[in-house]
């Protein structure tokens, strides 16, 4: 079976950086070496030309006009000196007769010098050349008094000193390149680690999150946050303080995911507890009444049977509300899954849209609650405008019933005002009351299932804390918005304003 070869991000980055920096250093070194070689060769050629000029001037200085000849001994001394420098000199007088010739003076030494230069240039610098000859006139008082022929290894050659200088320069470049290569490897590792470390942390955090929240997983240990135990699950957070925007965004996304999953776990556990509580109360009541009738403590008369019937209605209402909420939330999920379709499947299945006047629906619902409001001495005000809309009539009716029911329930005096306004979408339904209001800490949660600001769950305040969750799900399925503003605890300034945009 063929195995796929994989490499870690850190190693891949380190290798990439090393290769890139190494290639850059190699190219730079070659460029410097090439530029230095060209410049140095040009300098050498210029030096050879200057040295040839120096030889000619030295020979000119040896001419004795009194006898019309060159000083033979001095000419030989100068010629032999320059032989050691790699210059084979021949001096002739103005009639072309040899005055002094290096080859005839010491042929063996001249051959050894030329061979040594040729060997050095060919082996050390891979430069093949040959003997080149240049001829220069010798002047005295603007009169040509002879000729100097200079033979050198061409097109140019390096002396021993120049060869040592080039060797030292090459060694310096080699060791500098080696040191820079090692530094680039170290820098590459540090850079790759600085980039890969946050990614590895994010990967590890995601793996732990997947482990913690995977179904059928038993967690032997939990991480406790500072200040106390964490009964909900593993608290996973990673550092967000990075200078690189992408790494910062990645870390924040992981932290948001962890927070949302923890919040989801909290809600799930709270939902289980709430459902158990809501079912326990009517079931306990039913069980007590039925057992009492079985034991003969109660007579199965109308009063006790009606009590049992009320609890059954309460249970049925709870189950029905849960079914409605589940159906609407499924529709909302299908809407996002099928968002590329012209008509999303979930929405077309769960909403029965028709054209109607929203203001007439509001009037009908308000009429239903007028008696309950009058009984509590509450004024019911309507501020309506003609508002044609294409929506699910029964679903919006349920939203209005839930909002008005809460408004009447939590308002003991004052008024309730229902209005329709032009909104950012199409229409805004505004339900405002002068009731007890909602504490600020509870406002972010009131649209959650089974969330209640009143924790007593008494029959006077009633309900299962699911009405606003249903309203929010219905409005969300319509693609609308629902929000609340409220003040609580300040006399004369309490009350809530619910705004529904559809």
Residue-wise pLDDT tens digits, 11-38: 666 777 777 777 777 787 778 777 877 8
Q: Which pLDDT score is estimated for 218?
A: 45
| CATH of 344-501 given 3.30.565.10, 3.40.470.10, 1.20.1260.10, 2.30.110.10 | 3.30.565.10
Is 495:437 a contact under the CB 8 Å cutoff?
Answer: yes
Q: In 3D, which of 202, 218, 334 has the Cα closest to residue 258?
A: 202
Fold of 9-181: Beta-Lactamase (3.30.450)
- Rounded to whole angstroms, the Cα distance separating 428 from 257 reads 33
What pLDDT shows up at residue 231?
42
**pLDDT score, position 367:** 92
Q: Please provide residue 53's backbone torsions phi and psi, each rounded to the nearest 5 degrees.
A: -65, -40
Query: Tokens for 322?
Result: 């849960």
Which of 403, 400, 384 has its CA nearest to residue 392?
400
Q: Which residues contact 196 (CB under 8 A, 6 or more apart)?
A: 8, 9, 10, 13
Local mean pLDDT, 10-residue blocks, the chain (502 residues) = 57 72 77 79 82 87 86 84 83 86 76 75 73 87 88 76 78 80 78 72 73 53 40 60 69 77 72 74 82 84 83 80 70 44 41 92 92 92 94 91 91 92 91 90 82 54 70 88 84 82 92
Q: Is the Cβ–Cβ distance between 79 and 113 less than 8 Å?
A: no
Q: For 329-365, b where at least 16 C-beta lie within 10 A, e where not — what string?
A: bebbebbeeeeeeeebebbbebbeeeeeebbebbeeb
Q: Which of 58, 192, 195 is nearest to 136 (CA)?
A: 58
Q: Where are the domains of the chain?
A: 9-181, 344-501
Residue 241, pLDDT score: 67
To the nearest 10°, the Cα dihedral for 343, 346, 350, 353? -20
Decide: 147 and 135 in contact? Cβ < 8 Å: yes
Predicted local confidence at residue 388, as pLDDT: 95
């Amino acid at each position: 079976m063929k195995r796929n070869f994989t490499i870690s991000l850190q190693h891949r980055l380190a290798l990439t950086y090393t290769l890139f920096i190494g290639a850059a250093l190699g190219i730079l070194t070659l460029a410097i070496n090439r530029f230095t070689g060209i410049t140095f060769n040009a300098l050498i050629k210029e030096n050879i030309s200057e040295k040839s000029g120096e030889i000619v001037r030295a020979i000119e200085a040896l001419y004795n006009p009194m006898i019309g000849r060159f000083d033979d001994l001095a000419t030989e001394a100068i010629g032999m000196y320059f032989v050691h420098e790699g210059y084979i000199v021949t001096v002739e007088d103005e009639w072309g007769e040899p005055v002094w010739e290096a080859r005839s003076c010491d042929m063996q030494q001249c051959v050894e010098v030329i061979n040594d230069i040729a060997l050095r240039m060919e082996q050390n610098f891979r430069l093949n050349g040959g003997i080149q000859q240049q001829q220069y006139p010798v002047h005295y008082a603007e009169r040509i008094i002879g000729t100097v022929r200079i033979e050198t290894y061409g097109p140019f050659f390096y002396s021993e000193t120049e060869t040592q200088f080039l060797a030292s320069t090459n060694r310096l470049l080699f060791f500098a390149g080696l040191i820079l290569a090692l530094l680039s490897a170290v820098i590459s590792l540090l850079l790759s680690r600085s980039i890969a470390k946050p990614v590895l942390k994010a990967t590890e955090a995601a793996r732990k999150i997947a482990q913690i929240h995977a179904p059928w997983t038993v967690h032997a240990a939990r991480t406790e946050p500072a200040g106390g135990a964490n009964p909900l699950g593993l608290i996973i957070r990673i550092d967000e303080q990075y200078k690189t925007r992408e790494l910062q965004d990645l870390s924040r996304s992981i932290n948001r995911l962890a927070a949302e999953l923890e919040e989801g776990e909290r809600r799930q556990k709270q939902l289980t507890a709430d459902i158990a509580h809501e079912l326990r109360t009517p079931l306990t009541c039913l069980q007590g009444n039925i057992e009492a009738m079985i034991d003969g403590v109660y007579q199965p008369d109308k009063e006790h049977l009606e009590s049992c019937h009320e609890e059954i209605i309460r249970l049925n209402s709870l189950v029905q509300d849960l079914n409605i909420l589940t159906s609407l939330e499924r529709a909302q999920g299908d809407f996002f899954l099928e968002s590329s379709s012209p008509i999303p499947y979930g929405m077309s299945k769960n909403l029965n849209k028709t054209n109607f006047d929203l203001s007439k629906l509001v009037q009908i619902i308000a009429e239903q609650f007028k008696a309950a409001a009058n009984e509590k001495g509450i004024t019911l005000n309507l501020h309506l405008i003609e508002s044609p809309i294409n929506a699910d009539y029964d679903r919006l009716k349920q939203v209005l019933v839930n909002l008005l029911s809460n408004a009447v329930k939590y308002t003991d005096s004052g008024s309730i005002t229902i209005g329709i306004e032009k909104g950012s979408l199409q229409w805004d339904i505004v339900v405002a009351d002068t009731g007890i209001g909602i504490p600020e800490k509870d406002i972010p949660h009131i649209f959650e299932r089974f969330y209640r600001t009143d924790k007593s769950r008494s029959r006077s305040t009633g309900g299962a804390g699911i009405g606003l969750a249903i309203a929010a799900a219905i409005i969300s399925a319509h693609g609308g918005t629902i929000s609340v503003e409220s003040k609580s605890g300040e006399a004369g300034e309490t009350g809530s304003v619910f705004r529904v945009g559809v």
